[in-house]
């Protein structure tokens, strides 16, 4: 029986291997449907409603921020206001 941690490591190794999915599964002696099951299960578990916050220096105003929802909606705020940001995050 494989654990979540073992399968997460195996999935990461697959992405770094450069091998086809079938070749990787053959090499690791794991059935393709089993690998696909775990990949789907772990991706679903790791998905979040929010995207990571990152900074960008391309804004014309140095204190402007842009909020990007997981559905692709973008909201640009001319300045950072923690109360306004909190309200917008609750909309998600």
Please check whether residues 39 and 62 belong to one and the same domain.
no
Q: 76 lies in which domain range?
A: 49-92
- Do 67 and 82 fall within a single domain? yes
In DSSP notation, 58-85 reads --SSTT-EEEE-TTS-EEEESS--HHHH
8 Å CB contact between 33 and 55: no
**In the structure encoding, which two tokens stand for residue 6, read together?**
């073992």
**Are residue 72 and residue 42 in the same domain, yes or no?**
no
Q: Which helix (H) or strand (E) holds 77?
A: strand 74-77
Reported as a single tens digit per residue, the pLDDT across 4-23 is 888 888 988 998 998 999 99
User: pTM here?
Assistant: 0.47
Q: Domain check: are 72 and 84 in the same one? A: yes
> To 10 degrees, the CA torsion angle through 68, 70, 71, 75?
-10
Total number of domains constituting the chain:
2
Are residue 9 and residue 41 in the same domain, yes or no?
A: yes
Q: Is residue 12 domain-shared with residue 42, that is, in the same domain?
A: yes
What's the mean pLDDT when you consider all of the chain? 77
């Amino acid at each position: 029986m494989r654990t979540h941690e073992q399968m997460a490591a195996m999935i990461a190794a697959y992405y770094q291997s450069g091998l086809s999915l079938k070749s990787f599964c053959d090499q690791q002696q794991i059935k393709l449907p089993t690998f696909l099951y775990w990949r789907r299960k772990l991706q679903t578990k790791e998905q979040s409603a929010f995207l990571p916050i990152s900074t960008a220096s391309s804004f014309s105003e140095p204190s402007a921020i842009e909020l990007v929802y997981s559905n692709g909606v973008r909201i640009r705020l001319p300045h950072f206001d923690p109360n306004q940001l909190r309200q917008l995050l609750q909309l998600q």
